[in-house]
Amino acid sequence: MDFNALGACFTTPACVVTQATSGLIVGMLLFLVAAGLTLIFGVLKIVNFAHGTFYMLGGYVAYSAYVATDSYALAVLAGAVAMALFGVLFERVLMSRVYGSNVLMQLLVCYAVVLIFDDIVKIVWGPEFRAMGMPAAFQVPPLFIAGGVVPPFYAVLIGIAALIAIVLSLGLSRTRLGKTVRAAAVNPQMVSALGVNTTVLFAIVFAIGGGLAGLAGALAGPVRSLSPGMGFSILIEGFIVTVIGGMGSIAGAMVAALIIGLVRGFGTIGFPGFTDGLIYIVMIGILVLRPQGLFGRPL
């Protein structure tokens, strides 16, 4: 533990800006993953243990699209759309068969999917890591704000993620579909009694969740190495965010993702080598004091 360094960091604007941006970028990408996870849980009461796979596949699809078209925008779009479709397929073909059964049965199905797709990625893209490389448009020097470093690429990523967060929350509160989704999260029987086609609704929710995870994977493509099994650590962090924020709450996911991001950003200065442990302590504390999470409804 190094409280001196942490204290010194908090008193210098440069350090605060730099670490806060790095916390934001980690947090925002995490939010995209966790938002889908929490949405799916909210509506279907299913914990999607295969969510990391969407993230991984999104990254790989984007990689291939980028290699083929040389356009980052197209690559990101391809990653997101492909994963939205994959989400629907996953829901229809597999998950719909285990609705209402033991949560462990659902876990088993998801785990099988994780195993299968880790190997499919190995077969299609090879076991080696892949790197997309930075698109030419972003190969520019970083900005300096108050002496802190803010890379333009990350600023754009944060912007995109924030935009999506806004669209998502507006969509949920203003549109008919969004209202149905929220109603379904509170009372599924009521929604089907009102004549909403839950089959379609569930598929849509999985499409949104999968699309968001795929988008996160694609957005991260230029800076993170792609490798089979990379969805795993993201899944765990996504879980932590979902639980801290409250299962089913999009706003909670946003707040929790930012908390995790900032704990990482500043924890690396104050508690080098133990940032992971720090995050688990936060999670345990929240679960003990407020099991439903920051924004969750009590079960």
Partner 1 sequence: MKRNPALRDALFAAIVLILLLAIPMLHRSPAFEDFIIRLSAMALFATSLNLLVGTTGMVSFGHGMFYGFAAYAFGLTMQLTELSLPVAALFAVALTTIAALVVGAICVRLSTDYFAFITLAVQMLFFSVIVSWQSLTGGDQGLRGGIPRRRIFGFDLGSQLHLYQFCAIVAVLGLLALRHVSMSPFGNTLRMIRDNAERASFVGIVLWRARLLAFTIAGGFAGIGGVLAALFVSGAYPELADWPNSGQAIFAVMLGGINSFLGPVLGAMILLALNDLVQRFTEYHGLVLGIVILAFALGLRRGVLDFIHLVWSKRAR
Partner 2 sequence: MSGPVTRRTLLAGGTATLVAAPWVARAQANTLRIGMQSILSGPIALLGTSSRNSLLIEQDRINAAGGFLGRQIEFVFRDSKGQPQEAARVARELVNTAGCELLVDAEASSASFAVQEVMRDLNVACIHTNSETSSLTADPKIRVPTAFRVARQGVHDAVAGSLYLADFANAKKINKWATCSPDYAYGRDTTAQYLQFFKKFKPDVEVVTEAWPKLGQPDFTEVITKLIQAKPQALFTLLYAGDLSAFVNQGNVYALFGQMTVATPNVDYPVLAAIKNLPAGIQSATRYLETFPDTPANKEWGQAYFKRWNERPTNWSWQNSVAMHFYEAAIKKANSLDGKAIAAALTGLKINSPFGADGTITMRDDHTTIGYAIGWGQTIPKDPFITDIKPADWGKIIELETEWKKQQNYS
Residues that bind partner 2 (CB under 8 A): 9, 14-15, 18-19, 21-23, 25-26, 29, 118, 122, 127-134, 138-139, 141-142, 149, 151, 153-154, 220, 222-225, 227-230, 233-234, 264-265, 267-269, 272-273, 275-276
The site map against partner 1 for 27-56 (x = CB under 8 A) is --------------------x---------
CB 269 within 8 A of CB 255: no
Other Cβ atoms less than 10 A from the Cβ of 173: the count is: 11
Q: Binding of partner 1 at residue 288 (CB under 8 A)? A: yes
**Residue 287 binding partner per list partner 2, partner 1, none, with a CB distance cut-off of 5 to 8 Å that depends on partner kind:** partner 1
> In terms of CB distance, is 2 or 70 closer to partner 1?
2
> In terms of CB distance, is 91 or 237 closer to partner 2?
237
- Partners of residue 145 on adjacent β-strands: 148
**Residue 178 binding partner per list partner 2, partner 1, none, with a CB distance cut-off of 5 to 8 Å that depends on partner kind:** none
Residues in the chain: 299
**Residue 97 binding partner per list partner 2, partner 1, none, with a CB distance cut-off of 5 to 8 Å that depends on partner kind:** partner 1
The site map against partner 1 for 81-110 (x = CB under 8 A) is -------------x--xx--x-xxx-xxx-
Q: Binding of partner 1 at residue 195 (CB under 8 A)? A: no
**Residue 283 binding partner per list partner 1, partner 2, none, with a CB distance cut-off of 5 to 8 Å that depends on partner kind:** partner 1
User: Rounded to the nearest whole angstrom, what is the least distance from the CB of residue 25 to partner 2 in the complex?
Assistant: 6
> In terms of CB distance, is 3 or 280 closer to partner 1?
280
CB 55 within 8 A of CB 217: yes
Q: Binding of partner 1 at residue 137 (CB under 8 A)? A: no
User: Rounded to the nearest whole angstrom, what is the least distance from the CB of residue 100 to partner 1 in the complex?
Assistant: 11
**Residue 19 binding partner per list partner 2, partner 1, none, with a CB distance cut-off of 5 to 8 Å that depends on partner kind:** partner 2
**Residue 25 binding partner per list partner 1, partner 2, none, with a CB distance cut-off of 5 to 8 Å that depends on partner kind:** partner 2
* DSSP conformation letters of the chain: --HHHHHHHHH-HHHHHHHHHHHHHHHHHHHHHHHHHHHHHHHH----TTHHHHHHHHHHHHHHHHHHH--HHHHHHHHHHHHHHHHHHHHHHTGGGSTTS-HHHHHHHHHHHHHHHHHHHHHHH-SS-B-----GGG-SPPEEETTEEE-HHHHHHHHHHHHHHHHHHHHHHHSHHHHHHHHHHH-HHHHHHTT--HHHHHHHHHHHHHHHHHHHHHHHTTTS-B-TTTHHHHHHHHHHHHHHH-TT-HHHHHHHHHHHHHHHHHHHHHSTT-HHHHHHHHHHHHHHH-TT-SSPPP-
Strands 143-145 and 148-150: antiparallel
Rule CB under 8 A: choose which of 68, 69, 71, 111 binds partner 1: 111
Amino acid in the structure at residue 88 = V
Q: Could you list the residues that contact partner 1 (CB under 8 A)?
A: 47, 94, 97-98, 101, 103-105, 107-109, 111-116, 118-120, 122-123, 236, 239-240, 243, 247, 273-274, 276-277, 280-281, 283-284, 287-288, 291-292, 299
